[in-house]
Amino acid sequence: MPSPSDALKAVIEPLLELIEPGPGRTASFQNALELGREAWNLHVKCDAGGGDLETALDRASQRFARDDVPASEARLVLQMLLDRKRALYPGDDRVLLDAVAVETEDGLQLKVTWAKLGKIH
């Protein structure tokens, strides 16, 4: 099983391809991480019987909506990421508690805090 960081990066790969170099790069990477973490956790929670996926997607879409991104577009992105998570890591039931973009000498990196079976890693 890949590390949580590698797995999340694979799920958000289509969003990473859209990030342009420049001063807003870290913020864009962080936005992609937040969307990916939300989609990942929706998959884990709903597959474990933790609620209705459609309702959960609607609520998440409202939280990610902004002036320049309506909830309907946020929902499409979340659905795409959820589908990628389901396809790439269907049995991975780790919950991603936090995902942080970090700028290093080697470029953008991410740090993921996750939990499973009541333990924080």
Give the per-residue pLDDT at 85: 97
Three-class secondary structure of residue 17 per DSSP: coil
The stretch 74-83 carries a mean pLDDT of: 97
Give the per-residue pLDDT at 57: 94
- Cα radius of gyration rounded to whole Å, the chain: 14
Query: Is pLDDT above 90 for 52?
Result: no
**What is the tens place of the pLDDT at every residue in 23-49?**
889 999 999 999 999 999 999 988 777
**What is the tens place of the pLDDT at every residue in 95-119?**
999 999 998 888 889 999 999 855 4
Domain boundaries along the sequence of the chain: 4-120
Q: Packing angle between helix 53-64 and helix 71-88, nearest 10 degrees? A: 130
